[in-house]
Structure 1
Amino acid sequence: MMSSGHTPFPKAAFESLASSEASHWWFRARNRLIVWVLKSRSVKFRNFLEIGCGTGFVLEGISRNFPEAELFGTEYFEEGLAHARGRIPTATFEQMDARLLNDVERYDLIGAFDVIEHINEDEAVISNISRALHKNGCLLLTVPQHRWLWSEADERACHVRRYTRAELIGKVRKAGLEVQYVTSFVSLLVPLMWLSRQRRGQKSAEKNSEFDISDTTNRILEFAMKVELKLIQLGLSLPFGGSLLVLAKKAGS
């Protein structure tokens, strides 16, 4: 899912993504947090739509943890959907631009995980999502956080912005949604993130080059994220971090 004017990801990037997600610390950690939030906040849903589902890694995790839910996924790029369909054959998929989502009160839960930062018209997309939710339905978002972490890596990833907490909460509320829970994550690794983003030449690096790390480094980073999740589970809403999660609810009648 990308803003107009950006070049689509090459097909090889989706193939690399699909082969790396299941073992990569970042995707595994984000899935654990998403599932924990849904369970700990007792989010009830019969159906779930993921906007910008990519290769289907999050949907696969939702399917394992909530097997009774009817699953839907939309994605801007058909190259991503080719992998997603293979991962979750029971889900319904559609190639779609989120700016054109026009459903009305159709879904109990909608997720967009590191998607809206690619879209210039992010407020329109959040408004579309709000309209598509049933009354008392929920939106779960993750986005990259802190403008001071902006680097060539964001440009390579075709990001339009990194969010502040106040900015994202404001846009969610403007769409008529009530924030239920918010936390930063990738907090313990912020110093490492900042240092890595000072290196030159990131913009010219290959897409998904951040996957080229050793198994040892991958295990260390995942361990740090498991420690962080424990802190969140103990009730800490982390005030800073490389990413931000927001759970919001549409008011009932």
Structure 2
Amino acid sequence: MEIEYEKKYHEVETENWWFVSRRRYLLDVLKNAPKDSLLLDIGCSSGIFLKDLERIGFKPENLFGIDISEKAIANCKKNGIQNAFVMDAQKISLSQKFDIIVASDCLEHLREDTAAIINWSDLLKTGGMLCVFVPAFQSLWSTHDEVNMHYRRYTNKELKDKLISEKFTILKSSYWNFLLFVPLYLFRKIDAVVSRNKKKEGQIIDGKFTNVILLKLLLFENKLLKYVNFPFGVSTFCIAQKR
């Protein structure tokens, strides 16, 4: 991720609609998990999700985070997260075996995504849960992906197949950010044309009013996900169990 974009990311990650709504969905998924579970957040950034887990009762000493960014891990330490480490998500070297691993918008940054999944599986206990979010559809590729240093975007089937190949059972799988797919698709296509002759810039949609509206929209979508799986979306995810 480019330095200026990472700086912006850290400024908005606490309140931005995208990050808040995704954390809320994951918190709902994990709310009934044993609160003494050992949990690893891969690509933990400033540790906001780990602090949210503390607030719903997870034991802080059992919460771990890794990130490739030294700035992100420094922020984790400032936020009181002691088990936070600078590590490559393709080669995590921790002695613990985890009950739960979460990787939100991480796998697309890794050149060897299959090797990373194998590494993550090795870190999970048998029966452990893996929650993975990734950007969806190569047709949505834009300067946003380039600034973020993505290698690829995924279809839901591609993500499921990669996990099933490494002996995971899929518990829940869907696209996410379904309601914003069409407007964002059009925005990305226009941006691709406009950006051909200008410096690449990532887009973080913010602004207080916009943030409130988009957050409400995605929180409503999160509720629908309890009952349906969406046929397309800006992101896709799998919740899987290690066999």
If the length of structure 2 is used for normalisation, what is the TM-score?
Answer: 0.90
Please report how far the alpha carbon of residue 59 of structure 1 lies from its aligned counterpart in structure 2 after TM superposition. Answer: 1.7
Determine the structure 2 residue equivalent to 1:139: 130
Give the Cα separation in 2 of the matches to 1:238 and 1:229: 11
Determine the structure 2 residue equivalent to 1:201: 195
The letter of the residue matching 1:85 is K
If the length of structure 1 is used for normalisation, what is the TM-score?
Answer: 0.86
Q: Is residue 250 of structure 1 aligned with residue 242 of structure 2? A: yes
SS at match of 2:195: coil
Number of residue pairs the alignment of both structures matches: 237
Matches within 5 A, 1:54-65: 54-65=45-56
- Which among 75, 78, 81 is matched to residue 67 of structure 2? 75
Q: Is residue 52 of structure 1 aligned with residue 52 of structure 2? A: no
Q: Is residue 127 of structure 1 aligned with residue 118 of structure 2? A: yes
Please report how far the alpha carbon of residue 15 of structure 1 lies from its aligned counterpart in structure 2 after TM superposition. Answer: 3.5
Show structure 1 runs of 4+ deviating over 3 A: 12-15, 42-45, 102-105
8 Å CA contact 2:130–2:240 kept in 1: the answer is yes
Q: Percent identity?
A: 31
Determine the structure 1 residue equivalent to 2:148: 157
Give the Cα separation in 1 of the matches to 2:96 and 2:160: 22
Determine the structure 2 residue equivalent to 1:29: 21
The letter of the residue matching 2:220 is V
Determine the structure 2 residue equivalent to 1:215: 208
Name the CA shift for 1:144/1:190 in 2 (closer, same or farther; >3 Å): same
| 1:195-248 Cα distance to aligned partner (Å, 9 max, x none) | 1102222872444x424x321211111121122112113x11112111112111
8 Å CA contact 1:105–1:131 kept in 2: the answer is no
Q: Is residue 180 of structure 1 aligned with residue 180 of structure 2? A: no
SS at match of 2:154: coil
Q: Is residue 9 of structure 1 aligned with residue 6 of structure 2? A: no
| 1:177-203 Cα distance to aligned partner (Å, 9 max, x none) | 111111211000001111110222287
Name the CA shift for 1:135/1:115 in 2 (closer, same or farther; >3 Å): same
Please report how far the alpha carbon of residue 66 of structure 1 lies from its aligned counterpart in structure 2 after TM superposition. Answer: 3.5
8 Å CA contact 1:74–1:96 kept in 2: the answer is yes
The letter of the residue matching 1:163 is Y
For the aligned residue pairs, the C-alpha RMSD in angstroms reads: 2.0
8 Å CA contact 2:126–2:242 kept in 1: the answer is yes
SS at match of 1:246: strand
SS at match of 2:45: coil
Give the Cα separation in 2 of the matches to 1:185 and 1:125: 23
Give the Cα separation in 1 of the matches to 2:128 and 2:58: 19
8 Å CA contact 1:147–1:162 kept in 2: the answer is yes
